Structure 1
Amino acid sequence: MGSKLFNKLLLVAGFASLAHAAFSAAHHRTYLRLTEQEWTSLPLDIILQTVISLVLVVYNIIQIVGNFKEIRATVDMQQRTWDTLGNFPSFYTFNHRGRALSPSYKPPRANELDAQQQ
């Protein structure tokens, strides 16, 4: 638990440092315009701060997110049998008009429908 909190704090610090590097780059560009100097590249300290902040952010995001799943679909499919391969529970439908064709179907009365909707 303490490790996750520490990683989150480092992530926030990394984002703050990245925002500071962006602000410093914009400020440097404005300074060059005001002094009418030609822009060649950013100073080394801004570039280093940007790279270090980016590495810090990426590393801590990976630590916070946790384990990744395998990209290959065959890894997930190896545990499934042929019987369960086409099974999609999210597509199950229980309230459909086909039940009205059943001989034991009794349609609900109007007062029962009102009670169900409330």
Structure 2
Amino acid sequence: MAGTIHKLILTVGFLSMFHAAYSAAQHHSYLRLNELEFTRLPFDIILQAITSLFMIMYAVLNLAGEFKEIRASADLDNKSWETFRNVPSFYTFCHRGQSLLYQNPVST
């Protein structure tokens, strides 16, 4: 249920952001048609864009799930040192040390 609410907030936030962008483009073309100088956007468009941004950020942060810590050792705190040394991908059974066993000793 909570995920549905956050998805709805995200959708409303994006629609509101697109509306703010469209309103800004309309305001700019209005100024161009009336040959007025562009100084800044009206306050309501700026407020709508900022509110939409915060709505989107809130929804995305809640939909993203659990974050992991930045520290690389955070996942490794509960492991012992023996676990680090025991890595199956480093096991080698066919190595050149076996051939040393079967060589004839050098006679002098």
Q: 1:37 to 1:70 in 2, by over 3 A?
A: same
* Identical pairs, percent: 47
- Alignment partner of 1:44 is 2:38: no
Classify 1:86/1:53 alpha carbon distance in 2 versus 1 (closer, same or farther; 3 Å): farther
Corresponding position of 1:3: 2
Which runs of at least 4 in structure 1 moved beyond 6 Å after TM superposition? none
Report the counterpart of residue 30 of structure 1 in structure 2: 29
CA 1:87/1:51 → structure 2, altered by over 3 Å: closer, same or farther?
farther
Residue 10 (structure 1) shift: 1.0
Alpha-carbon distance between aligned partners in 2 of 1:87 and 1:24, rounded to the nearest angstrom: 62
TM-superposed CA distance for 1:25, in Å, is 0.7
Structure 2's unaligned 5+ residue stretches are 95-108
Q: Of the two structures, which has the highest relative contact order with CA contacts closer than 8 Å and spacing of 6 or more? A: 2
> Paired residues, what number?
91
TM-score (norm: length of structure 2):
0.74
**What residue number does 2:62 align with?**
63
SS at match of 1:85: helix
Partner deviation per Cα, 1:67-115 (whole Å, 9 max, x = no partner): 21101112112122223336667xx5xxxxx7xxxxxxxxxxxxxxxxx
Distance 1:86 1:28, change over 3 A: farther
Taking structure 1 as reference, are residues 8 and 87 closer, same or farther at Cα in structure 2, changes over 3 Å only?
A: farther
